[in-house]
Structure 1
Amino acid sequence: MTHINVLDPGASPLDYYGYELRRHREAAGLTQRQLGEIVNYTGSLIGQIETARKLPTPAFSERVDAALGTGGLLSRLTELVLRSQLPAWFQQTAELEARAVEICAFHTHLVHGLLQTAAYARAVLGVLDQSNLDDRTTVRLARQRIFQKEEPPVSWLIVSEAALYQQIGGSQTMREQLAHLLSFEHNPLINVQVLPFSVGAHAGLQGSFNLYRFPSDPTIVYTEGYGSGHPTANPDTVKNCSLRYDHLQAAALSLRDSAELIRRVMEERYGEQRDSDGGPVA
């Protein structure tokens, strides 16, 4: 366990965050418990974050920034902290994701991480590994803050119809996840299309992939396997995957028809079942 008196602010972004939190709290003349009462968190949690044993969330940082008058310092550090907690093989891609002006993605079997709800992400991350699940879920969801930027990326996200039927986390989790996808129905910057079963053989049979486009840098193609990620700017690979994506987009349902299919699956497959008396079935 890290001891507060030997915390090295240069050891990691998380250690630096804890150091700055402690420094500003003490400068304000507050104990951990007093600060916790102000921001509606426990003093124990304040202590865990100060000693780099617990990850700060964006909401926590915003409250503490307001309470301590730090000018948004901790909120700015939070993005760095959370990105540093991503798997090492994905950190470079997360930086690409954060810089891209356009993201095109195709997923064969699950909803893209940028559009996952907390419950869905938790269920995905919890397969075979329940350790630090709260923190790992927070880290994944933090990637979605790119949509809150002053100039967020234009995103085209194609998902296979199979992902709508693959029940991850239970019916309630799936209802919430599909409702979340529908919440982007009228957002011109976040476009969700479904590749239907009726298409048959298609240009994405080799697997999921992402395309990241930038104002001046080359386009990057990203694919991943078990515990590894593979970004590349190879012109032939980019050309091939761009062509595949164009064909997938042409084969996918329109934005309106995609939303109708998502809504139908949500209601018919994951809708609340009721008994003869009108009450929900357990």
Structure 2
Amino acid sequence: MPGPRELDPSESMLALFGSELREHRSRARLSQENLGEVLGYTGSLVGQIETGRRTPTREFAERLDGALETGGIFSKLWPHITRGQFPGFFKSYAELEPRACQMLEYGGELIPGLGQTEGYMRAVFEAGLPLAPPETIEEKVAARLGRQELLRGPTRPLLWWLLAENAIRRPVGGFGTMADQLGHLVDLVRSRKVVIQVLETSRGAHALLEGSMTLMSFADGIPDTGYVEAPHAGVLIEHPDTVRELRLSYDLARADALSPEASLNLVEKVAKEHQHHADEHRAEPG
């Protein structure tokens, strides 16, 4: 039986986290199962994080520090896992995002990244990067989860998302994963962290049909800034005239969308449909 996969801590922050976890666990003379029981997780998850195949959450890091009495090393490492993993074209946007007081977004075929569940985003990355090793996928998941920290802060921005109907109906990751994703989206709306409006397919063409975009506004003097993205590429838009054109396109598309209340009702309805399909698949013999 092969031994545990060896990590090179210099490869990435995710590898360093896993290496430190293995070292501290061994020093405490705990098996993966023993440590998992102490933390309230499975031993399998501990093993996957040790080998860089799963991304630790902030809560996992904090529980590690408490259980292993590390003085906070894992909580200090965790934010660095989520930084530096963005593609070059996205880094300028990622630096501005935490400073925004308002963000208007249309994600095209996808749920916006700030609202994605871990299972959904992993499915997106695996589909878009079919040749990437598991470590690369996990680093990208970690980076996106790190961005979501701004939703938990006391001064989180106003988020307004336009969603193509296909973005809520396509079973990304499977029906169960999609049901969980839409359930999470409903929770975000009900906790007043985001406003959503759905653009029904039956509306036909709309002003944002050609791509995805985000418009950011700031309270500290930074001019409104836009961002448009395609697979493996993205452009930050700062010219005032172009930003105004993006805003007009967004407003026109928003006028074609369902109301926030009707949109929430539709998302809840589609979530139940996905869950029904997931239950049917589980019930099938074989």
TM-score, normalized by the shorter chain, greater than 0.5: yes
1:153 matched residue in structure 2: 157
Equivalent residue number for residue 186 of structure 1: 190
Quote the offset at 1:184 in angstroms: 2.6
Count of residues in Structure 1 that have an aligned counterpart in Structure 2? 267
Change in CA separation of 1:67 and 1:158 when aligned onto 2, cut-off 3 Å: same
User: What's the counterpart of residue 227 of structure 1?
Assistant: 232
Q: Does 1:214 align with 2:218?
A: yes
Work out whether 1:255 is the aligned partner of 2:260: yes
How far did 1:202 drift? 1.3
> For residue 133 of structure 2, what is the amino acid of its counterpart?
S
Shift of residue 186, structure 1, vs aligned partner = 2.4
In the alignment, the residues of structure 2 paired with residue 268 and residue 54 of structure 1 have an alpha-carbon distance, to the nearest angstrom, of: 29
- Is 1:131 the counterpart of 2:96? The answer is no
For 1:57, the equivalent position in structure 2 comes to 57
Shift of 1:32: 5.8
> Match of 2:191, SS?
coil
Match of 1:166 among 162, 167, 170: 170
Q: Indicate yes or no: 2:76 matched with 1:80.
A: no
Equivalent position SS for 1:205: coil
- Tell me whether 32-41 or 250-259 shows the greater mean CA deviation: 32-41
Looking at structure 1, the residues matched to 278 and 48 of structure 2 have their Cα atoms a distance apart, in angstroms, of 40
CA RMSD of aligned residues (A): 3.5
Q: Residue 162 of structure 1 contacts residue 197 of structure 1 at CA under 8 Å; is this kept in 2?
A: yes
| Secondary structure of the structure 2 residue equivalent to 1:86 | coil
Q: Which residue type is aligned with residue 218 of structure 2?
A: F
Q: Which runs of 5+ in 2 are unaligned?
A: 1-5
CA contact (8 A) 1:83 1:91 kept: no
Contact 2:212 2:230 (C-alpha < 8 Å) held by counterparts: no
Scaled by the length of structure 1, the TM-score of the pair is: 0.78
Q: Secondary structure at the match of 2:206?
A: coil
State whether residues 184 and 192 of structure 1, in contact with CA within 8 Å, keep that contact through their aligned partners in structure 2. Answer: no
Amino acid at match of 1:254: S
What per-residue deviation string (whole Å, max 9, x for no partner) do you get for residues 217-268 of structure 1?
1111111223222112111111111111112222211111001111222334
C-alpha distance 69-124 of structure 1, shift in aligned 2 (>3 A):
same
